[in-house]
Chains A and B, each alone.
Chain A
């Protein structure tokens, strides 16, 4: 007895389990057909059993209904009506599941309520298959780039597994754009053309192919994630790229090494220093030229003279005389007391400024100037520093003995030029002004008005340090216009102006290595007022 009861219990539990497993999908199928199917009485086949159901809005008892079916002119058979409450939509459904469903024949189904026929339908059961979703959906990387292997198990239906059609839907994880692939009979598919190293979601559903059996699309499976392989570079291409890269590197290295000096010069130009010309000036005397000069004797002089004689001539700026008497005094007020000596200093001609100088007088004159400076050590320290980058060139018709000749030369741009060396680069601009003031005035007709010659000081100079005296001279050339002197001079000076503009920077930079610190911009700024 206990054995029997136990067996019954087991059977009951199994039946319950069987029913519940069917019920999971059953309810969802019913819900879906309620929405999609237009017939009053809706039927579908699940696991070879036909189920027909209908919806009832009013409160009814299932016992009120009578369900009958018949086929092939046989007698009507009855079916037990059950009720189901759909939780999702809160609806009540009455259904009947045929115990033995005949396929490939016309079924006549009828529903009666209280003796009256409610619904009637004729259908072939094989046309309304509603399958469960495929099971065991697996998505694996296929080992190739941009591919995924998708596989699943077919529905558990004997005799029907060769009549199935599947739909595979896949999309990038997180994206709503999906693609669909249709595949017949086979339960395996290789997805192609995918992005590499990307996560994909895959769904599958199934339907009868419509030849022997027809039906509804099953529900989609739960999505399964798959990752495509990261793109790997073809090893041959990698090797080739590396090889070519190596060759290019070697070539570039060879080029660089063979021209390293040239490249270095271009990228990191040497700042020319006059150190090699003035041994010990920077190392021993710490830049103190006075001290250095005192240390060195005539050998140094000769060398420096030689330096100057090596200078290539630069265009000569011809200027009129500068009358410095009145303004020279006014300027003195501005000047430092030390500079007073400078005024009295004889100018030294700058061989580098002119290309029309005759060398012998130039050298002779230079020597004289140097001797003069040597007698006055104070001024020397200020005026003879080679590294000073100011060079004022003045015309002094009366300063030289051969003034007459030189006057003519002026017009031909061959007048001897007097140069004043300013103090060191650290001097203020006022110093340069004072130097201007020290311009000797010629007594000739080409005299610069003292006013005009000192227009310079009134103008703002850049604090970089005095520019080229050349420039100063050029400016004073402008003031020349005001003088009522000969127009020919003006025109010539105009020419000079042109020259100053053109030659200025280049010459001083190229021909004056000693004066490498000359401020180019200073000269440019000087040019400003000229124009």
Chain B
């Protein structure tokens, strides 16, 4: 009997730990991290412009919408923004991974790889700010284009979308994150 209760208690502990997959992170509110990612996304665009051969096949990619209307943004809540950003990051991650498969140019491939890892880091940052969407299910390629997505037909366009998305929606979300607001005030 005693061993049984002991086991149960141990199990409960494990379940509780399992509930929290990752230990809570300190909120990363410094936007210079994001600025670094933005610069690296811009570097990919530059490399793309100078790429001659092995620069990826013409392929359509589903990418998030990047446009920001400040008037609309003011009325939007943070969680809504967080969902939008999370979804968009997932889309970009997928698209970039698909694109990298067709790229043989090594500088470009390295740049793309860099961008992908940056997007993963952004996910962590959002998680630290408690803004990560609960549902992390990524839509597959065959999923219909939602109102929040658009289609691009080339890698340069994809990179441009990535750059705009990071500078716009992601940045605005991070600057508006409540966890960072509490720190500042």
Contacts and interface: CB of A to CB of B under 8 A. Distances in A.
B171 A212 contact: yes
Size category, A interface: 10 to 19
B71 A104 contact: no
B170 to A, nearest CB: 10
A240 B171 CA distance: 60
Nearest to B70: A48
A212 B35 CA distance: 7
B67 to A, nearest CB: 4
A211 B67 contact: no
Which one of A48, A73, A211 has the greatest number of beta carbons of chain B within 10 Å?
A211
Given A124-B164, A162-B31, A104 B67 contact: yes
Contact of A103 (B38, B67, B74, B150): B67
A102 interface: yes
Contacts of A73: 150
A330 interface: no
B65 A72 contact: yes
Contact of B167 (A71, A101, A212): A212
Interface in A409-465: none
Interface in B20-47: 31, 35, 38-39
Which one of A101, A103, A106, A126 has the greatest number of beta carbons of chain B within 10 Å?
A103
A159 interface: yes
A211 B35 contact: yes
A158 interface: yes
Contacts of B66: 72, 104-105
A162 B171 CA distance: 11
A100 interface: yes
A159 B69 CA distance: 12
A102 B69 contact: yes
A71 B35 contact: no
A159 B172 contact: yes
A126 B168 contact: yes
Contacts of B74: 158
B160 interface: yes
A103 B185 CA distance: 28
A101 B39 CA distance: 24
Contact of A158 (B65, B68, B70): B70
B162 to A, nearest CB: 11
B73 to A, nearest CB: 8
Contacts of A124: 164
A45 to B, nearest CB: 11
B88 to A, nearest CB: 11
17 contacts: A71-B67, A72-B150, A102-B67, A103-B68, A104-B66, A104-B165, A104-B167, A105-B66, A105-B67, A105-B68, A105-B168, A124-B164, A126-B168, A158-B74, A159-B70, A211-B35, A211-B39
Given A100-B71, A159-B172, 19 more contacts: A72-B150, A101-B69, A103-B68, A104-B164, A104-B165, A104-B167, A104-B168, A104-B169, A105-B68, A105-B164, A105-B168, A126-B167, A126-B168, A158-B70, A159-B70, A162-B175, A211-B167, A212-B168, A212-B171
Interface of A: 48, 71-73, 100-106, 124, 126, 158-159, 162, 211-213
